[in-house]
Structure 1
Amino acid sequence: MDVLSDVIAVMRSGRPRSAFVRWHAPWAQRFASVPGSAGFQVVLEGTCFLRSPGAGDSDSDSDDGYVELATGDVVFLPHGTGHLLADTPDSSASGPVVDAEECVPVPSASPYASDRVDPTGRGGPVTALLCGTYQLDPSRTHPLLHGLPDLIHLPAARPGRPPELAAAVELLAAELRRPGLGTDAAVPALLDTLLLYILRIWFAEQAAAAAPGASGWAAALADPAVTAALHAMHRSPDAPWTVERLAAEAGLSRAPFARRFAALVGRPPLAYLTWWRMTLAERLLRTTDAPLRTVAEQVGYGTEFAFSAAFKRVHGSAPGGYRRAARR
């Protein structure tokens, strides 16, 4: 596993949800803040405006803080921040604002999607949206996500935008519009693929725009040496890694590698490795009945005692107690 694949596989919990919404202007829709989730909006038809997170009162009549969205635009809200969509900024100020939950659901053959329609029935120009949420486990949130802004906007018209993102959107929309055999398997995979492309594109854009000497996960994922070490740790978390061995994976000597890794990732190599091992262990304890000795071996500890001591330092309780509490 590479680091981004692991992040997506480990952080998500529960079942992702998605829905179509069709609006006839004038309209305005409010999406409440949902802690412990990440959301996305894709404009499939028409145009609209999004009130930026943190822009102030969503009922304000000011145009400040609105982002104009066109057909094909993708918006990602990695922290589940509340936001407002409207056909124009004026509609959010002068007309009724409908909460997302008030949209009328249309029965769907897929448990992953619900088609929703404008409850007001007004007859202006149509805007069609594909929206959805990923449920995240706060205890397994990777530091890669902590540094993301509240709003990521990927315009369809941006030069050089990879075509894979549009292809993922088209495939997901097709499955949700016309569910068939295998849809229940296809939709979660396509939602994960959409998330992967969003993050891949954003990190690539940030790395390209970064000034020399920049730090953070965008810079770390763009650095071949640091990425090689990260991939090694994620590929084989049970291996007996040392700073020297990780430096060899990175193609650097020990001291320069350790400085470079800590500067970009924000923690020393073995500190990151321990954190990742404990994250995997926490997941195994929650989701499997594997004996503690097996869990210890899978995350790189030769004895159950050493594993228990490390786990307690990170999570504040012994592995067995943690497992029992998590299943109550």
Structure 2
Amino acid sequence: MDVLSETITAIRTGAPTCGMFIRHAPWGRGYPLVPGTGFHVVLAGSCWLVPPAGAPIALGTGDVILMPRGSGHVLVDSLDSVVTEQAHIGEPREISGPGVRSELMCGAYALGRQRSHPLLAELPEFVHIPARQGADPGLRGLLDILAVELAQSRAGTDAAVPALLETLLLFALRAWFENQAPTPTGWAGALTDPGVLAALRAMHDAPERAWTVPDLSAVAGVSRATLTRRFAATVGAPPLSYLTRWRMLTAARLLRDTDTPLAGVAGKVGYQSEFAFAKAFKREYGLAPGQYRRGGGGAAPPAPPAARRREHH
């Protein structure tokens, strides 16, 4: 896998969920904090997202907005409207009325209860991808298919929707990173810097290898000093510090999603002994690997009702 795909695979857990809701102005909905990454897609009409702090964000038809850390917020058709409902199970999907019609697709991705990957931690609380930025055929076509599947449930819809949602997260993040400043910084810069990206791919492909900075600089095709400087400037940490973080994220995924014995997990992430691995893992997560696997930290808490049920949004 490429670095972005593998990163998302490592930090996500469980099946993503979503639903559609249709309201006629005036309307206002409150969304609580969710233990994961939330999202909204405006399929028709327009609205405003009002964060707990900061300026409201205007959303138009075709816009996508992600809440990487599940931040609570409010959606309203107009800044003059009041919040009259909270997203919850059992609410009607459509409320008719004389005002302007808005149609939104809303949902959430569950995350493992673990230290976040720096790529996700770097993102703003609200990642807004205007329709003009996400206008590539892939993202637009994906949104069209999702809207059809949610509007009229058919044979196979329950399997199709989670798979489409997983792709939506990748497409949305890719659109965000690709539309940063002409000289991107942070992870947008890491994903476009050939040397840094080569080093990242090497560590992702073989976290078990005893990598050194000279090894990685050879892969990157730049000097050790250049790689260290550019890596820290974009990724936010030196190469070997990132390697430790990636090993632990990989170990957490293996513990959560597979039955690989602890010794096998240790070997897959570069530790010669189970004891050394367990010590490093507990230092990172505050739990022994066995406790993590038994459920002490392997999955996020249940999402609020509004994010759990696809059919009642």
Note the alpha carbon deviations across 1:31-75, whole angstroms, 9 max, x for none. 1222x22111111112222224413xxxxxxxxx33322211111
CA distance 1:78–1:314, shift in 2 (3 Å): closer
**Contact map agreement 2:114 2:285 (CA 8 A) in 1:** no
TM-superposed deviation, 1:253: 2.3
TM-superposed deviation, 1:317: 4.8
Q: How does 1:273-292 map to 2 (within 5 A)?
A: 273-292=243-262
CA distance 1:325–1:11, shift in 2 (3 Å): closer
Answering whether residue 55 of structure 2 is matched by residue 68 of structure 1, we say no
In structure 2, the partner of 1:237 is: 207
> Which amino acid counterpart does residue 134 of structure 1 have in structure 2?
Y
In structure 2, the partner of 1:181 is: 155
Answering whether residue 85 of structure 2 is matched by residue 98 of structure 1, we say yes
**Contact map agreement 2:180 2:188 (CA 8 A) in 1:** yes
TM-superposed deviation, 1:102: 6.9
In structure 2, the partner of 1:132 is: 107
> Which amino acid counterpart does residue 58 of structure 2 have in structure 1?
E
**Contact map agreement 1:207 1:222 (CA 8 A) in 2:** no
Mean Cα deviation higher: 279-288 or 290-299: 279-288
Matches of 2:57 and 2:288 in 1, distance apart?
48
Q: Structure 2 unaligned segments of length 5 or more: list them.
A: 299-313
- Identical-pair percentage: 51
Q: TM-score under structure 2 normalisation? A: 0.86
Matches of 2:227 and 2:56 in 1, distance apart?
43
**Contact map agreement 2:113 2:297 (CA 8 A) in 1:** no
Higher relative contact order structure (alpha carbons within 8 Å, sequence separation ≥ 6): 2
CA distance 1:316–1:43, shift in 2 (3 Å): closer
CA distance 1:274–1:284, shift in 2 (3 Å): same
Q: TM-score under structure 1 normalisation? A: 0.82
Q: How does 1:1-328 map to 2 (within 5 A)?
A: 1-34=1-34, 36-55=35-54, 65-92=55-82, 97-101=84-88, 104-105=91-92, 116-118=93-95, 121-158=96-133, 161-208=135-182, 210=184, 214=185, 216-324=186-294, 326=296
> Which amino acid counterpart does residue 37 of structure 2 have in structure 1?
A
TM-superposed deviation, 1:188: 1.5
**SS at 1:104 equivalent:** coil
**SS at 2:109 equivalent:** strand
**SS at 1:90 equivalent:** coil
Note the alpha carbon deviations across 1:128-170, whole angstroms, 9 max, x for none. 1111111112414211111111112222145x84232211111
**Contact map agreement 2:251 2:265 (CA 8 A) in 1:** yes
Q: Structure 1 unaligned segments of length 5 or more: list them.
A: 56-64, 106-115
**SS at 2:182 equivalent:** helix
**Contact map agreement 2:281 2:287 (CA 8 A) in 1:** yes
Mean Cα deviation higher: 234-243 or 264-273: 234-243
**Contact map agreement 1:207 1:218 (CA 8 A) in 2:** no
CA distance 1:103–1:316, shift in 2 (3 Å): closer
Runs (4 or more) in structure 1 with deviation over 6 Å come to none
TM-superposed deviation, 1:122: 2.4
